[in-house]
Amino acid sequence: MNESGQLERLYQVQQLDLELDLLTTQEADISVELKDARAQQERINNDLEDAEIALEGVEKQARRLELDLATTQEQIGRNKAEQDKNATNAKMQSQYENVIQQLGERVADYEESLAPLYERQTALSARSTELRAEHRTLRPQLAALEDADEARVQALRETGQERRERRAAMVSEIEGRLVKEYELIRRSKKGLGIVPFEGGRCKGCNVQLPTNVQQRAALGKLPAVKCPSCGRFLIKLN
């Protein structure tokens, strides 16, 4: 392949590179519906985790109070039994009554503290059940969206593979040093390593090119002529 043909082929390689860049962007660009479904799933999971952590804390607190309540009720029972057995005079009867009264007040406090905990426990259990139902409802919808997106991505990757194979065939016909330098320029210049010039201006940076640069670039010979402003390879398109 002659020198001019190599630059033309390099320009074609760049078109494939730009298509590959676009395919990569499209691969990451998931649908609004899938984004919303994923966000909804994350919200449900976070809310469910918060509800279950809160429920676990309430249940733990309730169990502790229930244990204290049961222990206190047992103490009342023992004191009543001892009262019946040992309280042989009014003074001892009064002492037992005072202890039993204090324990009874403690029981009332425990029961009063447990009531809002039971309400909170019921509410959190209902919320957890509701969130699990939401998750079950969302699951098939999300799965269908994920499957569709996987098929979309697979199609893009197959297209990308075809483009890469075509690119490899083209690159094999171009001088290796030219390709390597083009790739370095392209990485540093927003995806464009070789650009046409029209009306005496570089299409990469729109700078007016010196006449001698235009003349040399128009010949299409190697080493390739670069724009003195942006450093991209220049090519004269027919």
- Burial status of residue 4 (CB atoms within 10 A of its CB: 0-12, 13-18, 19 or more): middle
Report the candidate in 179, 198, 178, 204 with the shortest Cα–Cα distance to residue 238: 198
Find, among 122, 111, 113, the residue nearest to 70 by Cα: 111
pTM: 0.74
Question: How confident is the model at residue 99, as a pLDDT?
Answer: 94
pLDDT (0 to 100) of residue 2: 65
CA-nearest of 114, 124, 119, 116 to 50 is: 124
Per-residue pLDDT of the chain (238 residues; tens, 9 = 90+): 566 689 999 999 999 999 999 999 999 999 999 999 999 999 999 999 999 999 999 999 999 999 999 999 999 999 999 998 888 899 999 999 999 999 999 999 999 999 999 999 999 999 999 999 999 999 999 999 999 999 999 999 999 999 999 999 999 999 999 999 999 999 999 899 999 999 999 999 999 999 999 999 999 899 999 999 999 999 998 7
The pLDDT, as a whole number, for residue 199 is 93
Tell me, what's the pLDDT at 88?
Answer: 87
Neighbours of 76 (CB within 10 A): 17
pLDDT for residue 190: 86
pLDDT score at 238: 76
Please check whether residue 171 is in contact with residue 164, taking contact to mean a CB–CB distance below 8 angstroms: no
Q: Which residue has the tokens 């009064």?
A: 94
pLDDT score, position 1? 59
Cis peptide before 116 (omega within 30 of 0): no
Q: Three-class SS of residue 87?
A: coil
What residues form DSSP beta bridges with 198?
201
Q: Distance between CA 55 and CA 61 in Å, rounded?
A: 10
Please report the pLDDT score of residue 117 as a whole number. 97
Domains in the chain with CATH codes: 1-26+175-238 (1.10.287.1490), 31-170 (1.10.287.1490)
CA 21 to chain centre: 22
Q: At what angle do helices 3-28 and 176-188 cross, to 10 degrees?
A: 40
Sign of the four-CA dihedral 222, 223, 228, 232: positive
